Amino acid sequence: MISVKDLFKTYVAGDTEVKALRGVSLEIERGEFISIAGPSGSGKTTMLNIIGCIDSADSGDITINGESVMDLKRDAQAAFRRDYLGFVFQSYNLIPVLTAFENVAFSLNLMGVDDAETKERSMAILKEVGLEGMENRRPGKLSGGQQQRVAIARAIVKNPEILLADEPTANLDSNTGKEILELMKELNEKHQSTFIFATHDPMVMDFAGRLVQLHDGEIQSDERR
C-alpha cells in the first residue's frame, strides 16, 4: 500500500551537508503497526515527514495506493494530508483556544463535514479514547496523557488510511506512555488504519508489529514480529 523507493534527502546547514536519508526503500502494508526507530539524526523523522507529505525528498519515490505523492502540488498535498493522513506529534500541538471537542472537530471541519456528523463522530471518538465528560476542557486543563489522547482522537476521527506519529510518548511518563500505546494499538486493530511511528523509545518498539531500524539514513534492519 505504501511503497518507498530509493529515497534520498540531504539537508544543508551553512557549509555542512547532512545526509538524512541515503537510498531508503520500504514496503508497508495496510493496517500495519510499524515503528521506524533509530538514534537521533538517523533520519526517522525525515522519513515520516516525507511519507506524510510535509517534506520533500531530493530523489526517489513514494506511492500510496499506487499513486505517487512526490509530485503533488502544494494544495493537492494539503488535500491529501487532510483526506488520507492523521498526525500525532510529540508535543501534542493542540490548539489552545479550542476545547477537546473542538480540537477533534477541527479535522472534520477542514474536510467540510456537516455539523451534526462532526459532533456525532467527535463525541464518539472522544469516548473511545477515554475522554468522555472532558469534551469541553481546553488543553490547558488536561494532563499530558489526556492531551495526547485528544491529539490521537483528532488524528483518527477522520478515519485516515495512515496515521503518522512522531515520538508520541516522548513527553509522557512510562505508565501514561503505555496507556497511549495500548490505545493506539486498539484503534489500529479497530479502524484498520496504518500506524507509523518514529521513535527511539524501547517501549514503542516493543509494541510495534514491525520494527525498522534506521542508522545514518540507511535501513539497518527490518523485523516483523
Partner 1 sequence: MTFLPKMAFKNLARYKKRTMITAGAIAYGLMMFIVIRSLLTGIDNESETNLRLYETATGRIMAPGYWDDRETFPLEKSFYPDVVIPVLEASGAGYSPRISFGGDLIFYKDPFPEDGSIPGRFTAIDPERDSDVFKLRDSLTEGSWLVDGEQGLLLGHWLAEDIGAGIGHTVLVETQTIDGYVQVFDLEVVGIINCPNPEITRSGMYLPLSIADEYLEMDGAVTEVNVNFGTVNGADEDFAALVPEVEALGLEALDWRILGADFIAISQAKAGGTGMIIFLILIIAGVGISNTMLMAVYERVRELGMMRALGMRDRQIRALFLWESAGIGLLGGFYGVGLGALVTWPLVKWGIDYTFLLRDASFGYRIQGQMYGVWNFPNMIFAFAMGVGMAVLVAAFSTHRILRLDIPASLRFQ
CB of 53 to partner 1, least distance (A): 9
* All three cell numbers of 217: 539514513
CB closer to partner 1 out of 40 and 175: 40
Kindly report the length of the chain: 225
Beta bridge partners of 36: 198, 212
123 near partner 1, rule: CB under 8 A: no
Closest among 129, 86, 148 to 111, alpha carbons compared? 86
Q: Which stretch binds partner 1 (CB under 8 A): 58-66, 77-85, 127-135, 178-186?
A: 77-85
CB closer to partner 1 out of 55 and 179: 55
Long-range contacts of 120-126 (CB under 8 A, 24+ apart): 121/157, 122/153, 122/157, 125/153, 125/156, 125/157, 126/100, 126/101, 126/150, 126/153
Residue from 42, 49, 188, 199 touching partner 1 (CB under 8 A): that is: 49
101 near partner 1, rule: CB under 8 A: no
140 to 179: interface string for partner 1, x by CB under 8 A: --------------x-------------------------
- 161 in Cβ contact with 193 (< 8 Å): yes
124 near partner 1, rule: CB under 8 A: no
The CA distances from residue 37 to 25, 97, 213, in Å, are 15, 34, 5
Name the residues that contact partner 1, by CB under 8 A.
Answer: 45, 49, 52, 54-55, 74-75, 78-83, 85, 87, 89, 93, 95-98, 105-107, 109-111, 154
